[in-house]
């Protein structure tokens, strides 16, 4: 609930909290302390008010900048213990912010987000000098809880969490898709800040590609089948941008979602081929309550399509119930026919593959790791999903 509040609301809330609790403490009867030989009422009062201030200013998760400021103020208050000072500082911070005409997003973006490699590298050099573990989550923005689950894994397992927000043109084989891809950097920064991300790298196309990237990757079957076959050049673009980002960030850990199941295999192959020393961590698919896999593209669904879209996950789940008894082909036919029976839906492909090699299987005994990968057009919107059998 508190993370939904704006920075200003959090700031005001923290100061109101301090003032209310402080005032209650001020009104406590002096007689209660009169008999205490060690602590005078005034000492105790100042200590209590200071503690309340410390709690109020640092527990309420204001932006990092405010939090730092809050802690300095708290230290000051430890020495002086004065509600007047708190009110004065609250008032002057608020007035200053308004006078400067800064929006919450401005503050968050300036605190969190940078668009050039130089700043990012300088920031990371310091962290690396201190032997800090760097975690990295590459995204194209328009963030939702699926992305944030990756960020949470990253924050939990590393000292520094860097997230990139970059809509990479080289991985779009459809110009219309690139042009209409949702871009919401300001809102993304707000979400990332509350998720505990330390640095948002949001470069321009020129920053990432001062010259065209002419590299062609040969990553074998993992990049050639399914998405590779249907979206020519897509995985080459993914390998280009992710390798560039890995060279810039040099992370210890990188986090990818299993929603783009084949993409993880491509990244693993690329990292192996280029010998990049990073651990690739895969994270489970986050879904809506009705089963639809979260995706930045879901916002493009009409209300009717949105209502129909959970059919994909539902059918995959149902197919897993009888998968061992039916042949691989029967399961494939069931999934395709069930989804295509809805006029709004059109299955582009459904394949059951070995989850490591991405090679199609004919019999369940062909692999110990069978995964079904699907792409469906729901109206104009291309949705992907998968299931482990």
The reply on whether position 384 binds ligand AMP by CB under 6 A is no
How far out from the chain centre does Cα 259 lie?
Answer: 14
Q: Where are the beta strands (DSSP E) in 228-292?
A: 253-257, 279-283
Number of helices (H), then strands (E), belonging to the chain: the values are 18, 9
Contact flag: residue 140 with ligand AMP (CB under 6 A) = yes
Residues 49-68 that bind ligand AMP (CB under 6 A): none
Q: Give, in degrees to the nearest 5, the angle at Cα 169 between 138 and 181.
A: 80
- Residue closer to ligand AMP by CB (options 62, 267) is 267
238 binds ligand AMP (CB under 6 A): no
Determine contact, residues 155/161, Cβ cutoff 8 Å: yes
From the list 109, 149, 338, 386, which residue makes contact with ligand AMP (rule: CB under 6 A)?
149
Active site residue 147: yes
Among 120, 162, 294, 309, binds ligand AMP (CB under 6 A): 294
Among 203, 257, 355, 370, binds ligand AMP (CB under 6 A): 257
Closest approach of ligand AMP to the CB of residue 85, in Å: 45
- 3-class SS string, 317-371: HHHHHHCCCCCHHHHHHHHHHHHHCCCCEEEEEEEEEECCCCCECCCHHHCCCEE
Residue in the block written with tokens 């008894």:
325
Tokens of 254: 């990188």
- Minimum distance from residue 295 beta carbon to ligand AMP (Å): 6
Does position 11 bind ligand AMP by CB under 6 A?
Answer: no
Selected from 160, 202, 249, 293, the binder of ligand AMP by CB under 6 A is 293
Applying CB under 6 A, which of residues 63, 296, 305, 375 lies at the interface with ligand AMP? 296
Q: Which member of 44, 144, 147, 176 is catalytic?
A: 147
- CB closer to ligand AMP, 287 vs 326: 287
Surface-to-core class of residue 320, CB atoms within 10 Å of its CB (0-12 exposed, 13-18 middle, 19+ buried):
middle
Smaller CB separation from ligand AMP, 213 or 366: 213
């Amino acid at each position: 609930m508190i993370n939904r509040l704006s920075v200003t609301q959090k700031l005001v809330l923290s100061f109101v909290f301090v003032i209310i609790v402080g005032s209650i403490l001020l009104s406590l009867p002096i007689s209660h302390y009169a008999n205490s030989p060690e602590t005078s009422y005034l000492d105790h009062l100042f200590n209590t008010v200071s503690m309340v201030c410390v709690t109020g200013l640092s527990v309420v998760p204001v932006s990092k900048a405010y939090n730092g400021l809050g802690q300095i103020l708290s230290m000051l208050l430890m020495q002086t213990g004065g509600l007047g000072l708190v009110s004065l500082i609250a008032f002057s911070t608020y007035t200053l912010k308004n006078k400067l005409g800064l929006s919450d997003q401005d503050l968050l973006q300036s605190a969190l987000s940078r668009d050039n490699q130089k700043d990012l590298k300088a920031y990371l050099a310091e962290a690396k000098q201190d032997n800090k573990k760097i975690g990295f989550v590459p995204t194209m923005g328009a963030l939702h809880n699926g992305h944030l689950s990756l960020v949470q894994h990253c924050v939990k397992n590393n000292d520094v969490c860097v997230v990139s927000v970059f809509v990479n043109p080289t991985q779009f084989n459809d110009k219309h898709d690139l042009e209409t891809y949702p871009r919401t950097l300001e809102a993304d920064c707000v979400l990332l800040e509350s998720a505990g991300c330390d640095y948002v790298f949001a470069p321009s196309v020129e920053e990432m590609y001062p010259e065209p990237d002419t590299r062609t990757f040969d990553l074998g079957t993992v990049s050639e089948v399914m998405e590779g076959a249907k979206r020519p050049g897509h995985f080459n673009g993914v390998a280009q941008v992710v390798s560039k980002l890995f060279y810039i960030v040099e992370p210890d850990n990188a986090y990818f979602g299993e929603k783009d199941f084949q993409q993880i295999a491509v990244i693993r192959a690329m990292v192996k081929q280029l010998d990049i020393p990073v651990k690739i961590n895969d994270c489970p698919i986050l879904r809506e309550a009705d089963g639809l896999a979260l995706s930045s593209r879901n916002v493009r669904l009409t209300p009717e399509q949105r209502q129909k879209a959970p059919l994909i996950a539902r059918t995959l789940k149902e197919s897993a119930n009888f998968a061992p008894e039916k042949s691989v082909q029967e399961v494939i036919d069931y999934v395709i026919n069930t989804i295509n029976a809805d006029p709004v839906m059109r299955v582009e492909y459904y394949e059951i593959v070995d989850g490591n090699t991405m090679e199609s299987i004919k019999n369940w005994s062909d692999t110990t790791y069978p995964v079904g990968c699907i792409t469906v057009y729901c109206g104009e919107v291309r949705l992907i999903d998968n299931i482990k059998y």
